[in-house]
Amino acid sequence: MSTDTSHPPRYAGFIAGVFSGVMKNAVGHPFDSVKVRLQTSEGRFKGPIDCTLKTLRYEGVRGLYKGFTPPLVGWVLMDSVMLGSLTLYRRLVKDNLYPTEKKLPLAGCCLAGLGSGLTVSFVAAPIEQLKARLQVQYDAKTKQFTGPIDCLIKLVKHDGLRTLYKGLVPTMIFRTNFIVWWGSYELITTWLKENTSMSTAAVNFWAGGLSASCFWVTAYPADVVKNVIMIDDVKNPRFKRYFDAVKFVYTERGLRGFTRGFMPSILRSFPANAAALAAFEFVMRLF
């Protein structure tokens, strides 16, 4: 993402974010399904390969795409808000904190990333809860919801709209790591431009994939806790506070519990985000 003084229209980031969301979901959803199943299951799978093979054996390819609709719509909304707000925060920070700088410094990129992460959390929390609940329906016996709309209706019917935001705080904690994502994106982009002869599109692709990988390395434990909270029983919740879930993961699984499902997540992060941010930057250059 450019950090120089050129100013595309304020709405440009929101439009470009739509294309990012479509690309990200198309590439990344099967990896995400395996990740969530490993994070939330208790001894059902030996690892990511076992999870993938068992899912294909008992549920077919469709099993890897369960819960696909919420993130398809969701990633479009989330990436539009995330990247649109990031663009606006960058401009806001640049104009008010670094008005004499030619480009936004690294600290400004990190600050804008934090603002973007907290902002998109309000969109992401309900979407990710629907997705997670659908992804952990393994068979007819455990199936509570027929689809995202049915899941939404049943959750709201039981405890009102507030139940959709039970994971808001964990989502915001998870997304504070956007400081790492957008800080590293700026560093990697600058390094590639100064030290390689890559095209702009190639720089965007590699910077997008590598920075997303940096993000997931730092953010993954918080993602585990977030998903455990999100699939908690609505009628009889086990976790009243965030640290109740942290304690549960540690007590039941040890420190390794905070990295369960990491491999499919990190494998997904590079191709999905590399393609997504390359698409985003391409559309931004059209304005």
Look up the CATH number of the domain holding residue 187. 1.50.40.10
Which residues have a Cβ under 8 Å from the Cβ of 176 and sit 6 or more positions away?
114, 117, 118
Which tens digit of pLDDT belongs to each residue from 145-189?
877 888 888 888 877 888 888 889 999 999 999 999 999 999 999
Quote the pLDDT of residue 41: 72
- The pLDDT, as a whole number, for residue 142 is 62
Are 12 and 284 contacting, i.e. CB atoms less than 8 angstroms apart? yes
* The predicted structure's pLDDT at residue 4: 53
Residue 123 structural domain: 12-285
Residue 193: predicted pLDDT = 95
Per the domain annotation, does 233 fall within a domain? yes
Q: Torsion over CA of 278, 281, 285 and 287, rounded to 10 degrees?
A: 130
| Average pLDDT of the residues of the chain | 87
Q: C-alpha distances in angstroms, 237 versus 55, 174, 229? A: 27, 21, 9
pLDDT for res 197:
92
Q: What gap in Å lies between CA 222 and CA 225, rounded to an integer?
A: 5
Residue 82 domain flag:
yes
**What are 165's two structure tokens?**
């935001």
Question: Which pLDDT score, from 0 to 100, does residue 261 have?
Answer: 80
pLDDT in tens, 77-119: 999 999 999 999 999 999 999 999 989 999 999 999 999 999 9
In a domain, 52, yes or no: yes
The reply to whether 138 falls in a domain is yes
In a domain? residue 1: no
Residue 221 included in any domain = yes
Q: Which residue has the tokens 């890559």?
A: 198
| Exposure string for 218-239, b = 16+ CB within 10 A, e = fewer | ebbbbbbbbbbbbbbeeeeeeb
Structural domain tally of the chain? 1
pTM listed for this prediction? 0.81
Under a CB-based contact definition with an 8 Å cutoff, are residues 280 and 16 in contact?
yes
Q: Does residue 98 fall inside a structural domain?
A: yes
With a CB cutoff of 8 Å and minimum separation 6, the contacts of 15 are 80, 84, 283
Report the number of secondary-structure helices (H) and strands (E) in the chain: 11, 0
Per-residue confidence (pLDDT) for residue 139, from 0 to 100 = 63
* pLDDT-derived band at 6, boundaries 50, 70, 90: low
Residue 144, in any domain of the structure: yes
Query: How many other C-beta atoms lie within 10 A of the C-beta of residue 2?
Result: 16
